[in-house]
Structure formats: structure tokens, C-alpha cells
Amino acid sequence: LGSAHQTTPVRGAVRRASFALGATLLAALAAPAGALAFRITPLSGHSPNANRINTLYIVTLVFALIIFVAVEGALAYAVLRFRARKGAVAAQIHGNTRLEIGWTVGAALVLVVLAIVTFVELGGIINPPNSGIEGAGLSAGGGPVYASLERRLPPNGKRLEINVVGRQYIWQFVYPGGTGREQFAPPYSYEKLVVPTETTVVLNVTAADVVHSWWVPELGGKVQAVPGYHNFTWFKIPRASGPQIFHGQCASLCGRGHARMIATVEALPPAQFEAWLAKQKQELAEADAEAAKARETLAAHSGPEAVEHP
């Protein structure tokens, strides 16, 4: 096996593989660098909570930039101003109480100010506001009610509540108005969540198998989807003239298909949303009826034991 004529193709393959690896690494490095050049703050502008997260990010960034420039500037000044010269004897300094107290109190003040600004914004990130419209699709309840400390509602209690269920490897969205008695009865949709604009949409996030993570950056922060638990988040998308589509991705490594577990949110004017929901309901009912018919045919041909009931 170790004969000489076999080494050359092996070396060729190794070389080709390293070229491919090098090119992939370069592409991987270039892509985020390109993205960074255009945007260093979080995506925002499509929900009040995402906007507040962006504000907090910018406040912290400004503080960090000022401190960075001051510290690095002082360092550069000291390096140049006090650089070694021939015959010079370095001063021996043993502490400076005033300076040490100064930078300790200064750092503490920065922390206090950032904490205050964070707590001022936090309420508006966690608590959903009232909807901008009094429309159809809004319910005082909507969907099953679970006990949870994290459940936050708008002041008037009215919201469109949608159950978000993480499954390996797809998101399921269960809308209110289901006719079935099961927890996740139709109307539902997979992968694409359709919602009305100007409406406070509260998401009740859970998982059916393993831990997933719901995150559509333009619509707010990340929320864990944990089997047996219910976490809540919300968004309120303003009206826009054009189509509004937001993209997200499961943010918790949940298995082999994790990379394919994407989420899309489409915001429609309330009347269009109502029409979509009605159509979705009808299509699901038709598909159910078809499946029931197919089961009957199968049972008639091969006996009832051949039919796997859901």
C-alpha cells in the first residue's frame, strides 16, 4: 500500500483540499468584515422593543468609545512623552492615592449610569404596549392560558397571542380561533409566521422536543424555547407601504438540522391578515378532510390496523 506511485495523487488531493479550505476561510472572514462595515448596531426600526435594545446598545457603545479613546490616548502620550533617553534615570513612583481613588470612583460611576439607563429602557423592552388599532384578530385571551411569571400583557390586556413551538427542525405557529380541543389545534402554519401590523403580538414560546431559541433580530431579543416551559416575548410592527418580511434563525444548537431551522415573519395590514388566516383555516380543513378520506380508503382496502391514526 505504501508504494511510490500512490503518494502523488494523495499529495494532489491534499493540496486541492488545502486550497479549498483556504478559500473557504477567506470567504468566511470577508463576509462578516463586509457586513460590519455597514452595520455595527443591532437591527431595529420594526418594533418598539428592538428600537430600545438598539438605543441601549448605542449608549453603551458611546461610553465605551469615549473611554477607549481616553485610555489609549493617555497610553500613547505616555509612551512618546516618557520614552527612554540616553543617560535618563526613570522616576520611581510608589502609588498615587488621589489617582487610584479617582479611577475607582470613575469606573463605578460609569457602571451606575449604564445600570440606570438600562433600567429606564428595560420596562419598554419587557412590557408590551397597547395595539395601535382596535381591530379584528385581537382577543383578550387567544390561545391556551398558562401560568408563568414571565407573561407580560399590554395595559388593556388586548393582544394577538400566538403559540410558537420549536420542533426539530421547524417552527410551528398556532394562531387563536382554533376549533379543535387539542392544545395545538389549527389554524397553524410552519416556518412562516404571518401577523397583522400595528397590533401587539404576544408570542408564547415553547418546544416539543429539545431546547430551541426564537430570534428575529429586527423584532426584539432572543427567547429560549424549552420543552415544558412557556416563555413570552412580543413585537408591534408599524404600518409600511411595502411588504414587510423579517428573517430569523433558531439560535440554540438543537441537532443536526439546526442550521436549516429558519423563521420568517410576514407582517400584513390587519384586513389582509384576517383574510390570510381564514384561507389558512380553510386549506387546513380541506387537507384534513382529504387525509380522513385517504384513511378510510386505506382501511377499506387493507383493514383498519393498516391505518396509523394521528
Kind and range of the H or E run holding 117: helix 97-126
Indicate the residue among 160 and 223 with the shorter CB distance to Cu ion. Answer: 223
Using the minimum distance from each CB to Cu ion, give the nearer residue, 53 or 254. 254
Which SS3 state, helix, strand or coil, does residue 163 take?
A: strand
Shortest reach from residue 168's CB to Cu ion, in Å: 7
Question: Smaller CB distance to Cu ion: residue 203 or 254?
Answer: 254
Torsion of CA 186, 192, 194, 195, to 10 degrees: 110
Residue 51, Cβ density class (10 Å: 0-12 exposed, 13-18 middle, ≥19 buried) = middle
**Residue closer to Cu ion, measured from CB, 250 or 268:** 250
Residue 27: phi and psi, rounded to 5, are -60, -40
Q: Which is nearer to Cu ion, 114 or 211 (CB)?
A: 211
| Cell, residue 73 | 490616548
Least Å distance, CB 155 to Cu ion, is 33
- Rounded to whole angstroms, how far apart are CA atoms 84 and 36? 39
Please answer whether residues 136 and 175 qualify as being in contact, where contact means their C-beta atoms are separated by less than 8 angstroms: no
All three cell numbers of 22, joined, read 483556504
**Shortest gap between Cβ of 210 and Cu ion (angstroms)?**
7
Classify 248 as helix, strand or coil. strand
Cβ distance to Cu ion smaller for residue 46 or 212? 212
Residues in the chain: 310
d(CA 231, CA 147): 10
Least spacing, CB of residue 191 vs Cu ion, in Å: 12
Contact footprint for Cu ion (CB under 5 A): 212, 250, 254, 261
- By beta-carbon proximity to Cu ion, the closer residue of 39 and 256 is 256
Distance of CA 17 to the CA centre of its chain: 35
Which residue reads 414560546 in cell numbers?
A: 205
Contact of 249 with 262, CB cutoff 8 Å: yes
Smallest distance from the beta carbon of 262 to Cu ion, in angstroms? 10
The distance of closest approach from Cβ of residue 152 to Cu ion in the complex, given in angstroms and rounded to an integer, is 24
- From the CB of 183, what's the least distance to Cu ion, in Å? 20
